[in-house]
């Protein structure tokens, strides 16, 4: 890749968009489809004399006949004015100042219309040399806000005043054509916020849309810009990409556009042309399993997913340490775990509580082959045993052989009764030859002398 590809380009003016107002009788969105709490916020803002619109993905999903996960609102009220209207409001964010209206666990997010930032004020708008927005609290009109939005299908506004939809960028048409299309010049928009490349992939997979040709063209070339994004933000984006129910398909599309490689370079080192490595096999298994759990409304733990997809890179590093330093394999695994996780956390800020769980799952892989005596029962009592066993089963599917036999042994052992468990442990003892093939070791006890008695 030429370094000039990542050099800053001249900042351009935002595109002028043509507003298309779709009257209530011409669209399918009904107030009955909007959450009660979102309606409360919309009506209170409108009643106080402010403009109030349901925006973005909420309008998009309603027009597609789905149920939005969130109902976000845009208004011309400033964050401080919003806080005066709602006692259950808190203001958050530095890069983007937002108001969260709290209804128990339900949160309605309210954003003030954003304006343009050609004339920068360091207090409200900061842009890097590469064109990336670092801070952006420039307020404006609804027209300017629409021009600032990323994708056409997210630039539609449901007006609570008359229940019409304001479509600024042909979003309704792109919904019908099933296209993800950026507003404005794609390369400039990606430079402003490289995470938009990830969002393009996520929307395409989630909605089963195609990425419009001009929108797709710069992604592979500009993918390294993700290295400038704060690691905490990339962690949150990685969960959205891989743990929202479409992780497997998202991973494959990310990889096609060189995006997965930017988030997980330690994994990308193990990629092959024919997807044949153990790392790639494990990625498919782990992400498919996560998608299935999401579909079945089961709890998912990011730590398990990260433990699975980082396992073989860690093992490879442990093997290198064993050969280079001549240390025991267990010690090599402990050191390799630290090295791999340190590298990953610098790019994606996995929280410490999750890295601790990842280490526990990995350590269990070393302990589960040791089942003699009471060790098997004690292992089953550990808090992370189930996660360790589930991962062992995945390893068995990847590796086969002894690992698969070990996983099958533990599967049987867990459901066996007391007597059968003891028999299984005894069989292990009989199957493993004694370390001392000569005379049996005598239990020598020192006799007390008469003078000691």
Catalytically annotated residues = 70, 72, 150
Q: Is the dihedral of CA 66, 208, 70, 80 positive or negative?
A: negative
Residue 266: strand, helix, or coil:
helix
Q: At what angle do helices 385-399 and 302-325 cross, to 10 degrees?
A: 70
Q: What is the DSSP letter of 400?
A: -
Buried b (16+ CB within 10 A) or exposed e, 413-423: beeeeeeebee
Instruction: Please report, for residues 118, 147, 244, 328, 349, the alpha-carbon distance to residue 13 in angstroms, rounded to integers and kept in the order given.
Output: 8, 10, 35, 61, 34
Answer whether 91's CB lies under 8 Å from 74's CB: no
Question: Which H or E run includes 155?
Answer: none
Complete DSSP assignment for 287-308: HHHHHHHHHTT----HHHHHHH
User: Which is nearest to 311 in space by CA: 286, 348, 275?
Assistant: 286
- The residues with which 165 forms a beta bridge, in sequence order, are 22, 158
Going by DSSP bridges, is the β-strand pair 89-92/20-22 parallel, antiparallel, or unpaired? unpaired
Residues forming a β-bridge with 109: 100
**Helix axis angle, 247-256 relative to 231-242, nearest 10°?**
120
Using an 8 Å Cβ cutoff, are 91 and 83 in contact? Answer: yes
Indicate the pairing of strand 133-136 with strand 125-127. antiparallel
Smallest Cα–Cα separation from 411: which of 390, 441, 382? 390
Instruction: Please give the C-alpha separations between residue 391 and each of 29, 224, 290, 369, 402, in angstroms, as whole numbers.
Output: 44, 32, 12, 14, 15
Q: How does DSSP classify residue 139?
A: B
Q: How many CA atoms lie within 13 A of 323 on its CB side?
A: 6
CA distance 22 to 19: 10
Interatomic CA distance for residues 210 and 153, integer angstroms: 13
Which of these, 260, 365, 270, lies nearest to 320 by C-alpha position? 270
Give φ, ψ of 111 to 5 degrees. -120, 140
């Amino acid at each position: 890749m030429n370094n000039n590809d990542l050099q800053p380009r001249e900042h351009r003016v935002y595109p002028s968009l043509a507003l298309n107002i779709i009257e209530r009788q011409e669209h399918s969105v009904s107030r009955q489809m909007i959450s009660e709490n979102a309606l409360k916020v919309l009506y209170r803002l409108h009643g106080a004399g402010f403009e109030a619109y349901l925006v973005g993905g909420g309008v998009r999903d309603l027009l597609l006949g789905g149920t939005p996960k969130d109902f976000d609102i845009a208004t011309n009220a400033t964050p401080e004015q919003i806080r005066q209207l709602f006692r259950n409001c808190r203001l958050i964010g530095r890069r983007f100042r937002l108001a969260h209206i709290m209804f128990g666990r339900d949160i309605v997010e309210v954003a003030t219309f954003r304006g343009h930032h050609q004339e920068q004020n360091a207090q409200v708008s900061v842009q890097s040399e590469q064109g990336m927005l670092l801070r952006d609290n420039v307020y404006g009109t609804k027209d300017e806000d629409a021009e600032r939005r990323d994708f056409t299908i997210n630039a539609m506004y449901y007006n609570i005043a008359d229940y019409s939809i304001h479509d600024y960028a042909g979003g309704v048409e792109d919904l019908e054509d099933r296209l993800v299309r950026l507003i404005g010049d794609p390369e400039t928009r990606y430079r402003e916020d490289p995470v938009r490349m990830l969002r393009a992939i996520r929307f395409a997979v989630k909605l089963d849309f195609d990425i419009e040709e001009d929108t797709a063209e710069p992604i592979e070339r500009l993918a390294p810009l993700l290295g400038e994004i704060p690691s905490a933000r990339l962690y949150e984006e990685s969960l959205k990409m891989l743990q929202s129910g479409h992780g497997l398909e998202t991973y494959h599309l990310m990889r096609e556009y060189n995006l997965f490689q930017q988030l997980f370079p330690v994994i990308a080192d193990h990629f092959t042309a024919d997807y044949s490595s153990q790392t790639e096999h494990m990625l498919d298994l782990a992400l498919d399993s996560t998608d299935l759990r999401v579909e079945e409304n089961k709890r998912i733990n990011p730590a398990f997913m990260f433990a699975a997809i980082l396992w073989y890179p860690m093992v490879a590093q442990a093997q290198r340490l064993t050969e280079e330093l001549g240390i025991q394999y267990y010690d090599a695994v402990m050191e390799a775990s630290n090295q791999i996780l340190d590298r990953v956390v610098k790019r994606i800020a996995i929280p410490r509580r999750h890295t601790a769980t990842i280490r526990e799952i990995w350590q269990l892989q070393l302990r589960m082959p040791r089942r003699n005596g009471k060790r098997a029962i004690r292992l089953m009592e550990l808090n992370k045993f189930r996660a360790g066993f589930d991962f062992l089963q995945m390893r068995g599917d990847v590796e086969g052989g002894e690992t698969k036999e070990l996983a099958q042994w533990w599967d049987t052992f867990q459901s066996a009764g007391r007597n059968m468990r003891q028999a299984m442990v005894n069989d292990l003892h009989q199957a493993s030859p004694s370390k001392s093939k000569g005379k049996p070791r005598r239990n020598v006890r020192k006799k007390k002398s008469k003078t000691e008695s």
